[in-house]
Amino acid sequence: MTRTPLLAGNWKMHGTRQEAVALAQKLAETIGRVPGREVVVAPPFTALECVGRAIAGTQIRLGAQNVHWEPKGAYTGEIATAMLSEAGCTYVIIGHSERRQHFGETDETVNRRLHAALAAELVPIVCVGETLAERDADATAAVIERQVASGLAGASSAQIARCVIAYEPVWAIGTGVTATPGQAQEVHHAIRRQLVGLASDTTAGRVRILYGGSVKAANIDALMAEPDIDGALVGGASLDAAEFTRIVRYEEKEG
């Protein structure tokens, strides 16, 4: 089954509104229309609306870096699905390892956020990944299987088909160390096989599985040559317009 590659830039806690708009305007010029690719940028909450205006009329989609599961309430510092939709978001990143590591995100809260996103017609990008200690202990398969099963718990096959999964080995995020294409493909393939059991063969064939973890122009071509890698969730490299443009315009290899 043909899956449209998805290249998403997670800007994390970088960029004032002025800086974010300047970056968005550059990207609108270079990758505003790239055939056969889908592009998402996820700026900080404060820059969502102005970035949305900067990419209006292009094929670049707007994403958020997090969302709460309640529609409103006394949840200081959180953000609701309606707020993201109003700002123009169509995607939302859920369960990023930095959220898990620094802000107490758990498999359960990832699942609650996922269902809120689905109910609001937002496309969730669900992040999973093992730590270096877990990889060294040969626990990668068990950790990923648990995170995928817990994150998607209670979702129907049709709902799972609307989701995106991002495999981000924690030991490769922001370290400059990237999983080899073979290591990434092995995990991506295992996730896709798990999706067969959680949903169906058809759904497993539809779900896009992204790789994240020190993705850059120098390694994107090799990563995208793997059959189960459907795109990338890019961190630091997405803050450089030229670098991210090259990532989006990766060169497909003939197998």
Q: How far is CA 133 from CA 129, 130, 138, 182, in A?
A: 12, 8, 9, 20
Read off the pLDDT of residues 141-177 as tens digits, 9 standing for 90 and up: 999 999 999 999 999 999 999 999 999 999 888 777 7
Catalytic, 68? Answer no
pTM of the model: 0.96
The C-alpha angle 239, 242, 243, rounded to 5 degrees, equals 65
* Res 254 pLDDT > 50: no
Please name each of the domains of the chain with its CATH number: 6-248 (3.20.20.70)
pLDDT band at 253 (very low <50, low <70, confident <90, very high): low
Catalytic-residue membership of 168: yes
Buried b (16+ CB within 10 A) or exposed e, 46-72: ebbbebbebbeebebbbbbbbbbbeee
Q: Which of 96, 98, 105, 130 is catalytic?
A: 96
Select which of 98, 168, 226, 243 is catalytic. Answer: 168
* pLDDT tens profile 163-217: 999 999 998 887 777 789 999 999 999 999 999 999 999 999 999 999 998 899 9
